[in-house]
Amino acid sequence: MIQSRTHNCGQLRLSDAGKTVTLAGWMENMREVGSNLGFVVLRDFYGTTQIVLETEDKVKELKAINKESTIQVTGVVRERSSKNPNQATGDIEVVPSEVKVLGRCRYNELPFEINHSREADENARLKYRYLDLRNPEVKKNIILRCNVVAALRKAMMEHDFMEITTPILTASSPEGARDYLVPARKHPGKFYALPQAPQQFKQLLMTSGFDRYFQIAPCFRDEDARGDRSPGEFYQLDMEMAFATQEDVFSIIEDVLPPIFAEYGTYNRASGAPFARIPYLEAMEKYGTDKPDLRIDLTVQDATDVLKDCGFPPFAGKTEDGADTDVRIKAVVISDFKESRKFIDKNIADIEVQSGNKSCWFRMDE
């Protein structure tokens, strides 16, 4: 228990009925049923609790408070007559004896509804980020990151890795992107560079005798946005091992990552140990990328022998004068395909933009 509350808004259960409790949080919503009956949803970091108002004075008192004001409620827990199985505290409600306003919201209308903030304009979400983060669906991403980082840290230390924090203000070192530069106040005309990765520092640690290093490392790269990371700044699990081979590194990663993906991943498929070893040329030939998503079963197949003499001029194996064209035809076979012609044309156009080559499609009836 802390001074401002005895319980949080996700904690009370039916076994707490009859107790006098104090809750504190944001007034998410008020539903007025009549002059002497109303319901308030009180929300904090942990969840929500229903407050039931059964007197005209209490209805007027709470009605005068704007949504998202911070309030403290003291009252008695009782069993709900109409339970909500979709809510952790759905078996109980609190009948308030005292309501204290801790921080009043001055505005009658918010820039967006808290529980629908992801549907709001992005500029408004960034301007009112503190409101956006009150949305449980947004907040859970922060919680997920915390849990994943804690799990990574625990797993790495169980494998005898030492967490060492490397410098942020450093000298520029060549990497795959441009540096972010910070002017040095005491050295006019000179600059610090924010690290694109702790590469040199971890190599220095290995030569210093530190056998195993890791860090949840911030990386700063002046580059365009990518599908798998934010532009400018991102964090990565950085590690280094002394006296180790490639297979030694693989064995550590195969122990560390699969349990974390199994527990926290949002998909129902994740690679287990041992990871598939795919040579670079095979990956490019089979998947068209050096980092394929193996959950997708679409692979590139060589269809030259089947299609080069099918009568379609671009696929011809020989020119009109009989010379070999050295044509290579690759195809992605999609079974049980049911999409429309419009869908096909759009994807063909997108592929041509990405590949710079002419793409074709055909259907084979067996």
Place 283 in a pLDDT band, splitting at 50, 70 and 90.
very high
pLDDT tens-digit map of 309-345: 777 777 776 676 667 777 777 888 888 888 888 988 8
Beta strands in the chain (DSSP E): 20-34, 37-44, 47-53, 70-79, 92-103, 162-163, 181-183, 191-193, 212-221, 232-241, 300-302, 330-332
Tokens of 320: 């009109």
pLDDT tens-digit map of 135-181: 999 999 999 999 999 999 999 999 999 999 999 999 988 777 889 99
User: Does residue 122 form part of some domain?
Assistant: no
| Shared-domain flag, residues 210 and 156 | yes
User: Does residue 123 form part of some domain?
Assistant: no
pLDDT tens-digit map of 3-45: 789 999 999 999 999 999 999 999 999 999 999 999 999 999 9
Q: Domain count of the chain? A: 3
**Residue 83: which CATH number?**
2.40.50.140
| Shared-domain flag, residues 237 and 310 | no
| Shared-domain flag, residues 85 and 174 | no
User: Does residue 132 form part of some domain?
Assistant: no
User: What amino acid occupies position 101?
Assistant: V
| Shared-domain flag, residues 215 and 291 | no
Q: Above 90 in pLDDT, residue 268?
A: no
Q: What is the pLDDT of residue 40?
A: 96
User: Does residue 184 form part of some domain?
Assistant: yes
Q: Say if CB 144 and CB 264 are below 8 A apart.
A: yes
Q: 304-309, long-range: CB within 8 Å, 24+ apart, which pairs?
A: 304/328, 304/329, 304/330, 307/331
pLDDT tens-digit map of 63-76: 999 999 999 999 99
Residue range 361-365: average pLDDT?
Answer: 75
pLDDT tens-digit map of 231-250: 888 999 999 999 999 999 99
User: Does residue 4 form part of some domain?
Assistant: no
User: Does residue 29 form part of some domain?
Assistant: yes
Q: Which of 198-212, 218-232, 236-250, 278-292 has the lowest average pLDDT? A: 218-232
**Residue 223: which CATH number?**
3.30.930.10
Q: Say if CB 63 and CB 32 are below 8 A apart.
A: yes
User: Does residue 130 form part of some domain?
Assistant: no
* pTM of the complete model: 0.80
